[in-house]
Structure 1
Amino acid sequence: MRKSLQILFSLVVLALLAAGAWYLLRPGQLPNQSRPGPNASTQLITKGEYLARAGDCVACHTEPNGPMFAGGRAMATPFGNLYVPNITPDDDTGIGLWTPEEFYRMMHTGVSRDGTLLYPAMPFASYTQVTRADSDAIFAYLMSVPPIKQANRAHELRFPFNNRELLIGWRTLYFRQGEFQPDPAQSAEWNRGAYLVRGLGHCAMCHTAVNALGGSKESQAFEGGMIPNQNWYAPSLTSNREAGLGDWKVSEIADLLQVGVSHRGTVYGPMAEVVYNSLQYMTDEDARAMAVYLKALPQKDDTPPPTSQARLVGPEVMETGRKVYVAQCAMCHGAEGKGQPPSFPILAGNRSITMATPVNPIRMVLNGGYPPGTKKNPRPHGMPPFSHILNDDEVAAVVTYIRVAWGNTGTPVDTAQVSDLRKLLPE
């Protein structure tokens, strides 16, 4: 009997604690506050447009060929589909009745106007670092765009992930609220870059591995990981054996971010979309500041340097790969993989080719791809897809060849890996 009472008392205490946490995390609707007038200064709106582009808001909140910021886009997650909301200033279906205070609270805490906890697909864990002044500018810009009356679509998440109360646990484990605080030991340029990369740029969302709960640890930030449901690998920015930038020039990093190509590399896949929608609009000064911060990320090369894995490849596979390369690839990338940068990337010594996971080079051979068309590179050179020309054995052989030829230190690719990725191609 005494033991049962102890258990009952413990459950009551836990329930009270959960209720307290729920009350604190769901503060409800803020008191009615004044909305910004229609005459918000052009300067403030222009600043907000720039910052909204830095945050890449359009990428999620706009359906392909749909009205800007009207929402409705499906965002696939391992738990089901989320549907992105309308953030135009429509009073009924958008944010037209919001106040700057409510918008800032959403950005800063991940709590919506009505007290609803937001799913972390909205990068509030990064946006929490955005200053109140910048949040107000973004809000002023959003209030200036044409209102679109388009109702928001309900999420389609499996049980129990459709229960928002579970987000209390996620937030406890993975969310740290707080505006960006400059590091007095660093330069103003470094701090500006850190603010953009860690805040509006939310770069860690892709370049940090997530666990089964969709969370990531700050201690593993920028160490690389698969992008959920996109089947691209975002390489580590802290390892010179992946995309670590320790031996890059600041100008080369800035070019990659703002232009999409540099003499050291080219962006494809999801990163090409980020450059197209967002980073190409950064000023030269902000692109350089981001490069300065990224270059200064601590490098974590703990493993010994890899050696060539060519000895692991059978002669027949190597010969098949060589023949495919000569017939399909050498015209652009050169017989020795030296490329023609920045138009055609170097393959010899290219760490994006030799990373532990071969996902990206396999996808490039199957899908092809273009760097983004940017203001500084409006007519980029692209790579055609080969999925309709090469079978799985040939793709595996040519990717294996470029991963081990010319002193490259990648590992062989097997046919099953190619087959798995081919299944993801659109029909």
Structure 2
Amino acid sequence: MRRPCTTGLKWLLLSTAGTLVGLAGVVAWQSLASEDPGVASAVGDPQAQRLKGQYLAQAGNCMACHTVRGGAGYAGGRAIASPFGTLYTSNITPDKATGIGNWSRDDFWRALHHGRGRDGRFLYPAFPYTSYTRMSRDDSDALFAYLQSLPPVNQPNRDHALRFPYNQRMLLALWRALYFKPGSFTPDPARDAQWNRGAYLVQGAGHCSACHSARNALGASLAPLALEGGVIPALAWYAPPLHGGEKGLGSWSEADIAALLKTGVSPRGTALGPMSEIVGRSLQYLTDSDISAISVYLKTLPAPSSESSAGSGAPRPEPAEAKRILKQGQKLYGSLCVDCHGGKGQGSAPDYPPLAGNHAIAGPQPLNAIRTVLNGGFPPSTTGNPYPFGMPPFGPQLSDSEVAAVLSYVLNSWGNQGGWVSASEVNRYRSVPLD
């Protein structure tokens, strides 16, 4: 009688055991790694510190994520969709039972700077500690002081609904080993104070890379400080590049950038989609000097070594079909769009944004253009532009092929090189939630 072959099974068990030992080692290394406690400054004026913290909370748009629609401010519970499942934001009011009422400012610094909770567990990077790690200890303490001054709200935190294996928190040790290292902002001595202030806000509290950077399969930002643009996971919205290259802000003036950040509209474009909320809830409340500093900094970011001159999307149709689509699109544009956006796509600033040379719609992916035509586009109401003009939704009025035709016309007119849109692409985004 032949003995069963056990060699393969032994190697499988040894390999599995080795993997588990390696993972345990990474977890232990991450857990025992020394943490910079920061240097907490003495508080001279508690009220001034709280006001500074309130300003930083607005700069970081903390309320937007930590408030469920219609709920109490900062009490958490908002669902954050991701490719790995749904995460729910935490209660950061000073409630002792369900919030951060029992936290110390050292605990709070640990969360922002090291991405770890009060109990030491690793936090999921949907909380953008990969950016907040650059905030100073003084700013962390000020933000904590402000949050501790809020009314406590007793609202239990919800468990995340992540798929296996992403719901295994210990695996974050591997993610952190690959993609996260606690750091700090180091001013560039070759730049002036204004530039460094803008860099600090963009890289830290503003966490601009959370949206304006492409991500890999594990959700890590690629070149987070380059701000080369990327699709926001699970939102189906393209956050355009913010660098100073041709496909970014190269043709924008600092005044154009500042106007968009402060009011939601500018001669070069309009804040729509997720950016509308960010301007309305956050950026409009920043000081003019901070808005100018951000604008100055963004203009200096270098473009990537190679910028694609043409957009992606559906393949170019055969010549006869392309001619038919463009003719249909031109007719639809003339009846539905020309009154606001002009015969040459020039728009009418600041109420109606230009379509010619608009990289947010003629960029590498036509997501924003499709979703805006289907669902409408609505800039925020701001102090500088309290009664914005919105774009009505055409989804109920136009078929998928008609939306594709008018967008293909826009993306191939007036110097745009945005590619083509297919009816199937339009249909795919009809059912995508708006937020």
TM-score (norm. length: structure 2) = 0.89
Matched positions, count: 418
Change in Cα spacing, 1:74 to 1:7, as seen in structure 2 (3 Å) is: closer
Where do residues 50-199 of structure 1 align in structure 2 (5 Å cutoff)? 50-199=55-204
Q: What amino acid sits opposite 2:264 in the alignment?
A: G
Contact 1:309–1:409 (CA<8 Å) still a contact in 2?
A: no
Contact 1:368–1:386 (CA<8 Å) still a contact in 2?
A: yes
**Equivalents in 1 of 2:309, 2:85: separation in Å?**
40
2:321 equivalent to 1:317: no
- 5+ residue gaps, structure 1, are none
Where do residues 249-398 of structure 1 align in structure 2 (5 Å cutoff)? 249-300=253-304, 302-303=306-307, 305-306=309-310, 314-398=322-406
Contact 1:107–1:135 (CA<8 Å) still a contact in 2?
A: yes
Offset of residue 331 of structure 1: 1.1
Q: How high is the sequence identity, in percent, across the aligned residues?
A: 49
Change in Cα spacing, 1:212 to 1:17, as seen in structure 2 (3 Å) is: closer
Q: What amino acid sits opposite 2:292 in the alignment?
A: R
Offset of residue 5 of structure 1: 12
1:74-93 alpha-carbon deviations (Å, 9 max, x no partner): 11111111111100000000
- 5+ residue gaps, structure 2, are 1-8
What SS does the corresponding residue of 1:218 show, helix, strand or coil?
Answer: coil
**Equivalents in 2 of 1:408, 1:309: separation in Å?**
17
Change in Cα spacing, 1:280 to 1:310, as seen in structure 2 (3 Å) is: farther
What SS does the corresponding residue of 1:354 show, helix, strand or coil?
Answer: coil
**Equivalents in 2 of 1:92, 1:304: separation in Å?**
52
1:410 counterpart residue number: 418
Q: Which of 362, 377, 399 matches 2:407?
A: 399
Contact 2:243–2:299 (CA<8 Å) still a contact in 1?
A: no
Change in Cα spacing, 1:102 to 1:315, as seen in structure 2 (3 Å) is: same
TM-score (norm. length: structure 1) = 0.90
Contact 2:209–2:221 (CA<8 Å) still a contact in 1?
A: no
**Equivalents in 2 of 1:6, 1:396: separation in Å?**
55
**Equivalents in 2 of 1:180, 1:340: separation in Å?**
40
2:3 counterpart residue number: none
**Equivalents in 1 of 2:15, 2:82: separation in Å?**
35
1:34-92 alpha-carbon deviations (Å, 9 max, x no partner): x99x9972111110000011111111100111100000111111111111110000000
Contact 1:26–1:111 (CA<8 Å) still a contact in 2?
A: no
Offset of residue 407 of structure 1: 2.9
Offset of residue 385 of structure 1: 0.3
1:181-211 alpha-carbon deviations (Å, 9 max, x no partner): 1111111111111110011111011111111
What SS does the corresponding residue of 1:393 show, helix, strand or coil?
Answer: helix
**Which deviates more, 173-182 or 344-353?**
344-353
What SS does the corresponding residue of 1:226 show, helix, strand or coil?
Answer: strand
1:275-306 alpha-carbon deviations (Å, 9 max, x no partner): 11111111000001111111100012625745
Offset of residue 159 of structure 1: 1.0
1:116-145 alpha-carbon deviations (Å, 9 max, x no partner): 110000000000000000000000000000
The two structures, once aligned, show a CA RMSD in angstroms of 3.0
Change in Cα spacing, 1:101 to 1:69, as seen in structure 2 (3 Å) is: same
**Which deviates more, 310-319 or 379-388?**
310-319
Change in Cα spacing, 1:194 to 1:57, as seen in structure 2 (3 Å) is: same
**Equivalents in 1 of 2:26, 2:228: separation in Å?**
32
Change in Cα spacing, 1:100 to 1:121, as seen in structure 2 (3 Å) is: same
**Equivalents in 1 of 2:236, 2:348: separation in Å?**
28
Q: What amino acid sits opposite 1:218 in the alignment?
A: A
Contact 1:399–1:413 (CA<8 Å) still a contact in 2?
A: yes
**Equivalents in 2 of 1:65, 1:202: separation in Å?**
25
Offset of residue 111 of structure 1: 0.4
Change in Cα spacing, 1:230 to 1:306, as seen in structure 2 (3 Å) is: closer
What SS does the corresponding residue of 1:406 show, helix, strand or coil?
Answer: coil
1:213-249 alpha-carbon deviations (Å, 9 max, x no partner): 111233773111110010001112237443x112321
What SS does the corresponding residue of 1:26 show, helix, strand or coil?
Answer: helix
**Which deviates more, 79-88 or 244-253?**
244-253
